[in-house]
Amino acid sequence: MFQTLKRWLSRRTERPAWSAVADWAESAGHSFKRTREGGGFVIEPAAASQGWRLEWGPSQRGYIEGNELRLRGDLKGGEELQMLVISRRLMEALEKQVFEQFTEGLQTRMDAETPEEMRWLVLFPAQPAYASKALQEGFGAVGSSLAAVEQWLSGPLSARLVEARRQWLAEDDPFVLIALRGRLTLRARMAEPDAELVRALVQLFDTALREGRRAAASWTAADEASTPPGDWTGAPLDSRLDGSPTR
């Protein structure tokens, strides 16, 4: 009774959009908690086997303005594997930013504060083949192992991404899926909580996490295509930037 009353009083202070997300989480069997600062919320599934955590609040990346939705999950392997899927428009903008930032004023070294998403666009080769033209038009992909990236995208994840691009992910919406240190993270811009969009992103992430675990399980260190970013941080960019920031 006390917990029910506590949730009811809490909902009274929330905006309608927050309540809709909380209602969705509760109906799906997930837990919904506001952050201590009150400026965001966290959702975690009741089943530990699902292995993800959702956060909504202020963006942690400069390329996403305002608020963002983050989803994180354990890949259960592939700690040295690095893979990135990024919306095409954002990829082109970040490549241009990297090129301009590290060539103007003769500054040609990359520092550790630069997000992996940007460093990898310079360091790793782009995916040479895509499952469909729609996927290639909507997204870019790079990774330390192109074989692993191809396996990650070869099945249901491609269909989910194309569906997202056609139904709810606009061309200008920043979107990132990044596998790093055995964890998968999704970042997407979300100015205000949207229950339907939250549900769609969770479904996409479930697929990305499942397929990412499949790719990580079959990946070995011998598949690596290049030096990990951790060993390369601070290396000169002259040999990596050829004057054309886009692929």
Q: What pLDDT is attached to residue 100?
A: 78
Q: Sheet containing 67-74: give its strands across.
A: 31-34, 41-44, 52-58, 67-74, 183-189, 175-180, 83-87, 139-143
Rounded CA-CA distance 53/71 in Å is: 6
Q: Are 242 and 105 in contact (CB under 8 A)?
A: no
pLDDT at 51: 81
pLDDT of residue 104: 61
50 close to 74: Cβ distance less than 8 angstroms? no
Looking at residue 47, its pLDDT comes to 72
Distance CA 98, CA 43 (A): 34
pLDDT of res. 149: 94
Which residue ranges make up each domain of the chain? 2-232
- 80 with 62: CB under 8 angstroms? no
- Residue 21: the pLDDT is 96
Q: What pLDDT does residue 48 have?
A: 64
pLDDT tens-place values along the chain, 247 residues long: 444 444 444 444 445 678 999 999 999 999 999 988 778 999 999 776 668 999 999 999 999 999 999 999 999 999 999 999 999 999 999 998 887 776 665 454 556 667 888 889 988 988 887 878 999 999 999 999 999 999 999 889 999 999 999 999 999 999 999 999 999 999 999 999 999 999 999 999 999 999 999 999 988 644 544 444 433 333 334 434 444 434 4
Looking at residue 102, its pLDDT comes to 66
pLDDT value of position 98 = 82
- Nearest to 57, CA basis, from 79, 75, 73, 42: 42
Does the pTM surpass 0.85? The reply is no
Query: Which residues, in sequence order, are bridge partners of residue 177?
Result: 85, 186
What pLDDT score does 110 carry?
58
